Amino acid sequence: MAGRENAAAVATSAPCASGRWQGDSLSDMRRRMVDRVATGLCWLATILVLLMLFSILFVLVRNGLGGLRWVTFVHVTLPPGQGGGLANAIVGSLIQTGLAVLIGAPVGLLVGIYLAEFTATDGRFINLVRFISDLLLSAPSILVGLFIYMIVVVPTGHFSGMAGALALSMLVVPVVVRTTEDMLRLVPLSMREAAIALGAPRWRVILFVCLRAARDGVATGILLALARVSGETAPLLFTSLGNMNWSVSPAAPMASLPVTIYQYAGAAYEDWTALAWTGALLITAGILMINITVRLGLGRNRK
């Protein structure tokens, strides 16, 4: 209402010709100034945040590029001064994020299917599940680590790569739920109707028609979830703990890139901080690459 009155006031005070308002009264000049200043501030905000991004990337490359040597990829972490690498951390991160996606993605898929396809029968419960899933999406990740510590690490008596993977999988699920539901809702009703008319049972319609039609989008969601958890540090601190030695057993404490970066970045040894930056560069490059690929892919599909 207020907006409309204002628009009317503006219309009477600023007659408009040739697409540009050309009032010369004092109030018109003031309005123009305000508009210019606001536009300038919008430019400033965008440039400022872009500068932050480039500053981060620049610092990562400047400090991390020197450590991108063969040794970094084939040697395990060693005490300072002995020329260690990050091999165990890289492999540990791959194993834990891989396991996390293997555990989390199927659950996320099923829940996403439930939210998209069962609205007719379970409407209220579905709203609750969607709400809780959205909460989990932004829940503090360190608390997820504490939770897994209490229910996995304490009963089993030791830290383990599996516990780390479980903590990460709790972060994978809500991301996959969200994208799966969104993508399934984009599948046209006529496709479902056609499949049902052919006599297919509902679960086949969902799995082999709807999910297949939505498969690119669903895969995107899983990739984004992978990208998100591969940089997570907080949930791993109390679950997989980190490991200075080579270990690929999910039953034992396992090194990971983020935790190693965290331990090394705060250290007083120059070669450790250098490795921390290299690790940071590796992980950021990986994550950004997944994100860019996914976004480019999505853009193409939309066109």
Partner 1 sequence: MDRSATSPSALTGVVRGNGDAVFAAIVRCAAALILLGLGGMVAVMAWGARGAFATFGPAFIVDKAWNPVTQHFGAAAPVFGTLVTALLAIALAVPLAFGIAVWLTEIASARIAGVIGTLIQLLAAVPSIIFGMWGFAVLVPFMAHYVEPFASHTLGRVPGIGPLFRGAPYGTGFLTGGMILAVMITPFISAVMRDVFLSMPAVLKESAYGLGMTRWEVVRRIILPWSRTSVVGGIMLGLGRALGETMAITFVIGNANHIGWSLFSPGNTIASLIALEFPESAMGSLKFSSLMAAGFLLMLISLGTLVCSRLLLRTRAAGR
Q: Which residue's CB is nearer to partner 1, number 52 or number 71?
A: 52
* Contacting partner 1 within 258-287 (CB under 8 A): 258, 261-262, 265-266, 276-277, 280, 283-284, 287
Which alpha helices (DSSP H) does 65-157 contain, by range? 70-74, 87-117, 119-138, 141-148, 154-156
Q: Which residue's CB is nearer to partner 1, number 76 or number 283?
A: 283
Residue 132 Cβ vs partner 1, minimum distance, rounded to whole Å: 5
Say if CB 259 and CB 233 are below 8 A apart: yes
Residue 271 Cβ vs partner 1, minimum distance, rounded to whole Å: 16
Taking CB under 8 A as the criterion, the residue among 231, 244, 252, 274 binding partner 1 is 231
Q: Does 199 bind partner 1 (CB under 8 A)?
A: yes
The DSSP 8-state label assigned to residue 281 in this structure reads H
- Give the whole-angstrom CA distance, residue 110 versus residue 203: 11
* Contacting partner 1 within 44-63 (CB under 8 A): 44-46, 48-50, 52-53, 55-56, 59-60, 63
Residue 5 Cβ vs partner 1, minimum distance, rounded to whole Å: 10
Taking CB under 8 A as the criterion, the residue among 206, 214, 226, 275 binding partner 1 is 206
- Give the whole-angstrom CA distance, residue 24 versus residue 16: 11
Say if CB 267 and CB 80 are below 8 A apart: yes
Residue in the block written with tokens 């984009």: 186
* Contacting partner 1 within 127-186 (CB under 8 A): 128-129, 131-136, 138-144, 146-147, 150-151, 154, 170, 173-174, 177
**What sign results for the dihedral spanned by CA atoms 296, 220, 259, 275?**
negative
Among the candidate windows 94-102, 180-188, 224-232, 245-253, which touches partner 1 by CB under 8 A? 224-232
Element (H, E) at 20: strand 20-21
Residue 163 Cβ vs partner 1, minimum distance, rounded to whole Å: 14
* Contacting partner 1 within 92-111 (CB under 8 A): 107, 110-111
Residue 241 Cβ vs partner 1, minimum distance, rounded to whole Å: 8
Q: Count of CB atoms within 10 A of residue 64's CB?
A: 21
- Give the whole-angstrom CA distance, residue 277 versus residue 117: 46
The values of phi and psi at residue 20, to 5°, are -110, 135
Site size for partner 1 (CB under 8 A): 105
